[in-house]
Amino acid sequence: MFTRVHIDSWSRKLTSVRYATICTGLAAAIAGCAGSAAQASHHVAKSALARDTAPNPSAAELQSYATSNLALTHAMLTHLRTTPAGRTTNLAYSPLSVALALSMPYAGARGETATEMATAMQWSVPQPRIAKVFNHIALAIAERASQAQRFTAPIRDPGQDESAPAPNDARVRLVNALWASNNLVIESGFLDTMAVDYGAGVTLANFAGDPDGERRAINRWVESETRDKIANLLPDGSIQRDTRLVLVNAMHLKLPWAQPMRRVPSPLEFTLAGGAKKQVPFVTQTASLGYFEDAFVQAVRVPLLGGSISALVIVPKRDLESFESGVTVQNLKFIRSAMQPARVSLTIPAFNFTTRSMSLKEMLKSLGMARAFAEASGGGTADFSGISKTENLKFDDVVHKAMVALDEQGIEAAAATAVTMMPTSAFVEDPKTLTADKPFLFMIEDEPTQSVLFAGHVYDPTAP
């Protein structure tokens, strides 16, 4: 049913095999092969080169990445808060997922297309090195589940503490996958980069014959990798007969709190943006936490099990909308860096919501990534010749979806990003008190890599 990938003189470096025999997960070196029914009947083209599990980027490269990650966090907040998906409604998104997904086609971008992508994403690391940086970041973050599990094992004796988190409560998974039209000639160098730095092959898909079937297969893969937290990433009509390539990143995080929270026995009052009040469930803890306060905000950092990943909660002293309209990258960086240890009595609403699939096309174009979406007749052709030289590829869309849940047990969050491509044409005596009883901003961060994994805001904790 599916034709073999077109292979020329470099065929000795490639294998075209059943998915069940290879790993395509970004964290494959840690988690092992994780097959999917959505891909089991497809052939996969994959370089014979092994995954590089020790990419070792320099300190300067990692700091450059951290700067770009925070800039993207701010750029997405600035854009999405003005859209129907984020205006005075709950919003969740993953800057890391978006950057990882875009870094894959960037590996095959050339000329002005590559320059514009790097400028828009604020990637100052040379193009061949950026994949190494993301390889390191992905592998490091994927290890956080193992770190957390080492904390759960010693306390899982039911006779001692039946409420202790079980090892399977800790999960951090980042995976990438690519689907290509089964008649697209893919460059060997691109396949090498996908194998070495992303641990991924390219699944051969029948877009021309069954575009909606392939869309559903990709969505099933995303659902499987996020434990059904991200459903229907690609909406109806997003895959067409002339789709040539779909690059997808999926992330799923589930971690208990480092120190237990408890649910407040009775609902408390939460003030909505318009002034109305609602009774909602809250969770609370009093502990030594990172804390910052000035005339404008209160902020607290709450660690999750393992100590590397934490939740940063920022509660403006005025309204959230005014704060977000004026916040800068420098403001966010200062809040993060200015936190000091303090004993904090934290009370925060429990919430669980999903932000629907949203297109990032206009946002990316406004950041300067116009050429990647350009038609041949549009005043500047997209150049992804590093992916394929037989067809002039361009971005059709970049689609993103995310969810986040917080309760007394911990945090669960998931996100997926799809890039579709087509042919052109110190302690105090009394604790500080922070009660998030009005709209607030949150970020879920991996502290060692300074990565914002998820971000967003909460306007109504009870909204789905």
Q: In which band, very low, low, confident or very high, does the pLDDT at 170 lie, cut at 50, 70 and 90?
A: confident
- Domain count for the chain: 2
Based on the domain organization, do 107 and 141 belong to the same domain? yes
pLDDT tens, 266-300? 999 999 998 999 999 999 999 999 999 999 999 99
Based on the domain organization, do 310 and 415 belong to the same domain? no
Give the DSSP H or E segment for 117.
helix 111-121
CATH of the domain at 197: 3.30.497.10
> In degrees rounded to 5, what are phi and psi of residue 62?
-70, -35
pLDDT tens, 4-16? 233 332 332 333 3
Entry pTM: 0.88
Q: Evaluate whether residue 19 is within a structural domain.
A: no
Based on the domain organization, do 93 and 150 belong to the same domain? yes
Based on the domain organization, do 159 and 96 belong to the same domain? yes
Q: In which band, very low, low, confident or very high, does the pLDDT at 17 lie, cut at 50, 70 and 90?
A: very low
Q: Evaluate whether residue 46 is within a structural domain.
A: no
Q: What's residue 145's pLDDT?
A: 86
Q: Cβ distance 297 to 317 under 8 Å? A: yes
What's the one-letter identity of residue 432? K
Query: Which residue is associated with the tokens 């956080």?
Result: 144
Q: Evaluate whether residue 313 is within a structural domain.
A: yes
Q: What is the mean pLDDT of the chain?
A: 87
Q: Evaluate whether residue 13 is within a structural domain.
A: no
Q: What mean pLDDT comes out for the span 336-361? A: 96
Query: Which residue is associated with the tokens 């318009």?
Result: 274
Q: What's residue 40's pLDDT?
A: 52
Q: What angle do CA 44, 45, 47 make, to 5 degrees?
A: 130
Q: What are the residues whose beta carbons fall under 8 Å from the beta carbon of 128, sequence distance 6 or more?
A: none
Of the candidate ranges 13-22, 142-151, 390-399, 428-437, the one whose mean pLDDT is the lowest? 13-22
What the block records as the tokens of 221 is 């893969």
Query: Which residue is associated with the tokens 């971005």?
Result: 395
Based on the domain organization, do 339 and 407 belong to the same domain? no
Based on the domain organization, do 97 and 217 belong to the same domain? yes
Q: How far apart are CA 314 and CA 442, in angstroms?
A: 6
Q: Evaluate whether residue 43 is within a structural domain.
A: no
**pLDDT exceeds cutoff 50 at 3:** no
Q: In which band, very low, low, confident or very high, does the pLDDT at 102 lie, cut at 50, 70 and 90?
A: very high
Based on the domain organization, do 165 and 310 belong to the same domain? no
User: What are the C-alpha distances in Å from 392 to residues 115, 127, 186, 220, 389?
Assistant: 17, 20, 12, 29, 7
Based on the domain organization, do 91 and 167 belong to the same domain? yes
Based on the domain organization, do 98 and 144 belong to the same domain? yes
Q: What's residue 445's pLDDT?
A: 98
Strands (E) in 276-430, as ranges, are 277-280, 282-293, 297-303, 309-316, 340-349, 351-359, 393-406, 410-423
**How many Cβ atoms from other residues are within 10 Å of residue 88's Cβ?**
16
What's the one-letter identity of residue 317? K
pLDDT tens, 387-408? 999 999 999 999 999 999 999 9
The range of the structural domain enclosing residue 445 comes to 262-350+427-458
Of the candidate ranges 84-98, 223-237, 420-434, the one whose mean pLDDT is the lowest? 420-434
